[in-house]
């Protein structure tokens, strides 16, 4: 009964709150990516021949890529925010001209 209620509540949240829906979908995509990577890593022999220095270098490159992606996401969000503010200013100006 409680599980059904929680499921219904989650579905309603996804219907009526786009930001909640985006977070849920992004979480599901991240989970599927992680599971796929874990499967690929467990079934391949990649990395087993690396030395300790090679493993450390791979870790550093991975961290650098993640920092770059986070920076890109942040810049994208800032650009979208600027675009929205310009649009709202334009709408206000057009209303004032009427």
**Cα gap 96→85, rounded to integer Å:** 16
* pLDDT tens, position by position, 41-74: 888 876 677 788 988 998 999 999 999 999 999 9
Number of domains in the chain: 2
pLDDT at 32 over 90: yes
Domain identity same for 39 and 66 = no
Q: List, for residues 72-82, the tens digit of each pLDDT value.
A: 999 999 999 99
Residues 63 and 40 grouped into a single domain: no
Q: In whole angstroms, how far apart are CA 1 and each of 6, 8, 14, 15?
A: 9, 11, 20, 21
Do residues 14 and 24 touch, judged by C-beta distance below 8 A?
Answer: yes
Domain coverage including residue 39: 1-44
39 and 8 fall within a common domain: yes
- 97 shares a domain with 61: yes
Nearest of 34, 65, 36 to residue 57 by alpha carbon:
65
Same domain, 62 and 97: yes
Residues 5, 30, single domain; the answer is yes
| Domain shared by 35 and 56, yes or no | no
Encoded tokens for 49: 């021949």
């Amino acid at each position: 009964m409680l599980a059904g209620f929680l499921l219904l509540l989650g579905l309603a949240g996804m219907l009526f709150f786009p930001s909640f829906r985006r977070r849920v979908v992004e979480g599901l995509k991240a989970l599927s990516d992680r599971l796929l990577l874990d499967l690929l890593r467990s079934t391949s022999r990649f990395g087993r021949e690396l030395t300790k220095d090679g493993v450390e270098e791979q870790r550093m490159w991975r961290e650098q890529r993640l920092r770059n992606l986070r920076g890109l996401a942040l810049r994208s969000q800032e650009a979208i925010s600027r675009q929205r503010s310009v649009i709202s200013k334009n709408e206000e100006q057009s209303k004032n001209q009427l």
